[in-house]
């Protein structure tokens, strides 16, 4: 890794097949940022355990997400790509940071409160500690910047607080990271309820496009997208459905919003929905194909994972030893 570049860390949970929303909002950015930064990307499988998962499914989804990232253009030669659980330092640093984190501040986290309601039968310590594990992820690599969605902003603030708290108590150790939050255009809404974010956990499959949907499915989902009855293709706050489709079309083609409006001026919704569907289908077809190809070469994926864990582990352990020393954990002298 080159040292003249800043370090960037990000991670995603292997909780399901990413959607078009995840692609346009996050994954595309991960790919783009690879030249500008030393990028470290992790599959947050430990975070995933904070809600109940079918073990077999978690394993399969983790591998699938790794393949998907590579298929989307995350280059394992350029960036460090690894599974969080393969680098034990993440859990180890979490323990140390736990001694600086207060139950009050963790209990106040919006996501903790939301998830506690949603999974009322399984409010476990891991769910509450989720943001501390996230802080460990980031601080282990001295990340300068962290691309995240708005929903994770509060967690990044906690990461900064913990870093500053540690530095004040034990002397300067951690880099205090800055968030990178993608622009508004990147927020993709549900195709069935355009007031809500597109989400892979939505029980209505027509509400989201998965990156592994085939062409026909993608087009069908766009044909069924909920719009208004005004039949004019115009971006406007009171037309959330059609505005969402305009956003999607513009994000995929790289054209701006007014360009898209002009292109479809005078056309009907039916025609526009098919155009959006076909454009999206064409954009994700190669991703789907490449992902399936990669998934049939498990030896390659295992190799990528192992290399990633070696590289990440080397960096993470350097930070962890420093932390252990600073807090006063005894370590025997090593013979040279
Ligand atoms: N919690 C993040 C999410 O659900 C995933 C994540 C885990 C993460 N560790 C991270 C993101 C560290 C940024 C940095 O989106």
Task: Give yes or no: 118 in active site.
Answer: no
Quick check: CB of 260 below 6 Å from ligand 1? no
The active-site residue, picked from 115, 221, 239, 273, is 115
Q: Is the pLDDT of residue 228 over 60?
A: yes
Q: Classify domain 7-185+298-327 at the CATH superfamily level.
A: HUPs (3.40.50.620)
- Where along the chain do its domains lie? 7-185+298-327, 205-292
* Region 243-271 average pLDDT: 94
Band (186; pLDDT cuts 50, 70, 90): low
* Region 222-247 average pLDDT: 94
Query: Separation of 165 CA from ligand 1 center, angstroms?
Result: 21
Nearest residue (by CA) to ligand 1, atom 13, is 10
Residue-wise burial string across 302-327, b where 16 or more C-beta atoms lie within 10 A, e elsewhere: eebbeebbebbbebbbebbeebbebe
Band (2; pLDDT cuts 50, 70, 90): low
Quick check: CB of 12 below 6 Å from ligand 1? yes
Quick check: CB of 11 below 6 Å from ligand 1? yes
Look at residue 225 in the predicted model and tell me its pLDDT.
97
Angle CA(55)–CA(308)–CA(162) in degrees, nearest 5?
Answer: 80
* Region 302-328 average pLDDT: 98
Quick check: CB of 72 below 6 Å from ligand 1? no
Six token digits for residue 319: 């930070």
What is 205-292's CATH number, 1.10.240.10, 3.40.50.620, 3.60.110.10, 3.40.140.10?
A: 1.10.240.10
Quick check: CB of 138 below 6 Å from ligand 1? yes
**Cβ atoms 112, 127 nearer than 8 A:** yes
Look at residue 238 in the predicted model and tell me its pLDDT.
94
Look at residue 182 in the predicted model and tell me its pLDDT.
74
3-class DSSP state for residue 134? helix
- On the 0-12 / 13-18 / 19+ scale of CB atoms within 10 A, 88 is middle
**Residue range 46-103, pLDDT digits in tens:** 999 999 999 999 999 999 999 999 999 999 999 999 999 999 999 999 999 999 999 9
Look at residue 200 in the predicted model and tell me its pLDDT.
87
- Kindly report the pTM of this predicted structure: 0.93
Nearest residue (by CA) to ligand 1, atom 14, is 10
**Residue range 11-56, pLDDT digits in tens:** 999 998 899 999 998 899 999 999 999 999 999 999 999 999 999 9
**DSSP conformational letter for 264:** T
* Region 122-147 average pLDDT: 98
Q: Tokens 């956990």 sit at which residue?
A: 201
User: Candidates 109, 155, 159, 179: which one to mutate for ligand 1, based on the most atoms within 8 Å of Cβ?
Assistant: 155
Quick check: CB of 85 below 6 Å from ligand 1? no
Query: Separation of 44 CA from ligand 1 center, angstroms?
Result: 7
Task: Give yes or no: 115 in active site.
Answer: yes
Look at residue 150 in the predicted model and tell me its pLDDT.
85
**Residue range 135-163, pLDDT digits in tens:** 999 999 999 999 998 889 999 999 999 99
Q: Name, in order, each residue with C-beta under 8 angstroms of 333's C-beta and a sequence gap of 6 or more.
A: none
Q: Is the pLDDT of residue 218 over 70?
A: yes
Look at residue 1 in the predicted model and tell me its pLDDT.
57
Quick check: CB of 143 below 6 Å from ligand 1? no
Look at residue 16 in the predicted model and tell me its pLDDT.
87
Say how far apart CA 286 and CA 14 lie, in whole Å.
21
Task: Give yes or no: 200 in active site.
Answer: yes
Q: Is the pLDDT of residue 112 over 90?
A: yes
Nearest residue (by CA) to ligand 1, atom 15, is 12
The active-site residue, picked from 6, 28, 187, 200, is 200
**Cβ atoms 77, 46 nearer than 8 A:** no
């Amino acid at each position: 890794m080159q040292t003249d570049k800043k370090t960037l860390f990000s991670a995603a949970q292997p909780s399901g097949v990413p959607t078009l929303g995840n692609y346009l909002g996050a994954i595309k950015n991960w790919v783009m940022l690879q030249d500008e930064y030393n990028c470290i990307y992790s599959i947050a499988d430990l975070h995933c355990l904070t809600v109940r998962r079918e073990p077999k499914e978690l394993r399969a989804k983790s591998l699938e997400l790794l393949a998907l990232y590579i298929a989307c253009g995350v280059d394992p030669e350029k960036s460090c790509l690894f599974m969080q659980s393969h680098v034990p330092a993440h859990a180890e640093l979490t323990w140390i940071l736990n001694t600086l984190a207060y139950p009050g501040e963790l209990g106040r986290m919006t996501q903790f409160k939301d998830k506690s309601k949603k999974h009322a039968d399984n409010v476990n310590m891991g769910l509450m500690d989720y943001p501390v594990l996230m802080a460990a992820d980031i601080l282990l690599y001295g990340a300068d910047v962290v691309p995240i969605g708005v929903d994770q902003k509060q967690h990044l603030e906690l990461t900064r607080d913990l870093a500053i708290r540690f530095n004040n108590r034990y002397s300067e150790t951690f880099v205090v990271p800055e968030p990178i939050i993608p622009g508004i255009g990147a927020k993709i809404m549900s195709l069935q309820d355009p007031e809500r974010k597109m989400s892979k956990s939505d029980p209505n499959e027509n509400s989201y496009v998965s990156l592994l949907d085939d062409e026909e499915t993608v087009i069908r989902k766009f044909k069924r997208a909920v719009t208004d009855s005004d039949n004019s293709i115009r971006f406007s706050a009171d037309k959330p459905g059609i505005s969402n489709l305009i956003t999607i079309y513009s994000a995929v083609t790289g054209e701006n919003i007014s360009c898209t409006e002009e292109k479809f001026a005078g056309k009907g919704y039916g025609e526009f929905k098919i155009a959006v569907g076909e454009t999206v289908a064409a954009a994700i077809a190669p991703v789907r194909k490449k992902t399936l190809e990669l998934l049939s070469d498990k030896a390659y994926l295992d190799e990528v994972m192992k290399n990633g864990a070696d590289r990440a582990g080397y960096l993470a352990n350097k930070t962890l030893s420093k932390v252990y020393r600073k807090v006063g954990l005894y370590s025997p002298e090593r013979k040279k």
